[in-house]
Amino acid sequence: MYKRHLIAAAIALTFAGPVLAQDSELAKIRQEIKQMKDAYEKRIQELEKRLSDAEAKAGKAETAAGKAEQNAARAESAASSATAARGGENAFNPAVSLILQGTYANTSQDPNTYHITGFVPSGGDVGPPKRSFGLGETELALAANIDPYFRGIAIASLAPAGGVDVEEAYFQTLALPQGFTLKGGRFFSGLGYLNEQHQHTWDFQDAPLAYKAFLGTQLAQEGVQLKWIAPTDLLIELGAELASGDKFPGSDRNKNGVGGSALLAHLGGDIGDSYAWRTGVSYLKTAPNGRSYQDTDSLGGVVTNTFTGNAKLWVADAILKWSPHGNPNYYNFKLQGEYFRFKQRGSLIYDDTAQTNLFGVVSDYFQTDQSGWYLQGAWQFYPRWRVGYRYDRLNFGTVNNGIVNNGLGPTAADFPLLAGYSPTRNTLMVDWSPTEFSRLRLQFASDKSRLGLTDNQVFVQYIYSLGAHGAHKF
């Protein structure tokens, strides 16, 4: 009996040992799992806390950024409103520019007696400036787009002696199709090359002799101008003008209709990347009626000569510009020239009754066929420094004066201004432009415009530009 219990206990112990060992191992594993679970839960809580803190900070930053963006939007809106308000106030305010000019002149002949012998006086301001210091032409310009379709420009010339002259005042279209542009009002004619440019942009202090003799220095038309530019790489420009024709070589006819007309044609383009050129021909036709000028008879009395008929002017112009690779800032050269052919056909009335009453009033046919040309070059040899030379010549051509030819009394001596003479002039200049808004010029000229006289001229000129000034023409 005792043995049986002993054997059963031994068997139980035999199997109980591994079971107890297994329970101890399981408890250890459970403990490790619990420790790991606690550690992971703590880590997760830490990560969740960090995430919550980060989200809270991000929310604050986003809120601040949102507020900043809103403030920026408000500021931008306010600025836009202010700009719009300013734009509304200034929408019709034009750009304003002012050109100041002056000279110091030294001439060997009296500028008050200046004339061009052999040619009918053009009546313009063709003489040199007064001696010593003098104020040149002051130019005040206003320009603005009127609306999407038109632009308006007004340029007033303030004369040194006082008074205001309207140089240009015109509208110009902005949106005509097919390359057309219409201009109306008072404007410098597109005749030739130099005529369309304002005096302060010229390369010399004064105009060539041909401009003085045939256009009274510069022709301003009152009428309309239509131009067309072809849609090609080569510049092809055609134009036509209809005008009152009241400026020399025309006159104020006091009639309805068109008193003068002009046709214009220009070609231009590039040669490589360093050369640009333009050439053209122009034609002007006017019908002067009672155009007068004063002369002196053989006794020194005042004579009034009055012409009625038609006048025609042809102009051929050409210009070549060079600058290395198209950059004119350091070096550049410009060569330009124009040829004029002027014809008049009509009748002339000779009236010397004002003082001498030598011949009274006589009239007969009057015809002229005259020409003139100039050639000039301007070289920028150093940044902001240029030198230039110009040669002018007028050819007397033929003047058929029926009063003299038919022996009506007055002789050639009674028309001293129309004596057979071909004037010439040589001009040399050097100028310095500290900036694009200022220029100082020294000019020398040997002017043989008057028969038997040489006028040696020295000019010192300043040109200053103030305000919003547009780009100059080619």
pLDDT per residue over 69-116, tens digit each? 444 444 444 444 433 334 444 455 788 999 999 999 999 999 999 999
Domain boundary among 34, 64, 91: 91
- Whole-number pLDDT of residue 34: 72
What is the tens place of the pLDDT at every residue in 410-441? 999 999 999 999 999 999 999 999 998 999 99
Q: Are residues 197 and 289 in the same domain?
A: yes
- Whole-number pLDDT of residue 2: 41
- Whole-number pLDDT of residue 63: 42
Residue-range definition of the domain harbouring residue 71 = 1-91
Q: Which residues pair with 170 in a beta bridge?
A: 153, 185
- Whole-number pLDDT of residue 4: 46
Q: Which helix (H) or strand (E) holds 35?
A: helix 2-90
Domain boundary among 91, 124, 150: 91
**Average pLDDT value over all residues in the chain:** 86
- Whole-number pLDDT of residue 68: 41
Q: Are residues 56 and 135 in the same domain?
A: no
CATH of the domain at 251: 2.40.160.10
- Whole-number pLDDT of residue 67: 44
Q: Are residues 86 and 116 in the same domain?
A: no
- Whole-number pLDDT of residue 217: 93
Three-point CA angle 462, 465, 466, nearest 5°: 135
Give the Cα separation of 209 and 342 in Å (integer).
Answer: 13
- Whole-number pLDDT of residue 246: 92
Pick out the chain residues at pLDDT < 70. 1-27, 39-40, 47, 52-92, 469-471
Q: Are 189 and 241 in contact (CB under 8 A)?
A: yes
In a domain, 317, yes or no: yes
What is the tens place of the pLDDT at every residue in 143-196? 999 999 999 999 999 888 778 889 999 999 999 999 999 999 999 999 999 999
Give the Cα separation of 209 and 217 in Å (integer).
Answer: 8
56: exposed, middle or buried (C-beta count within 10 Å: 0-12, 13-18, 19+)?
Answer: exposed
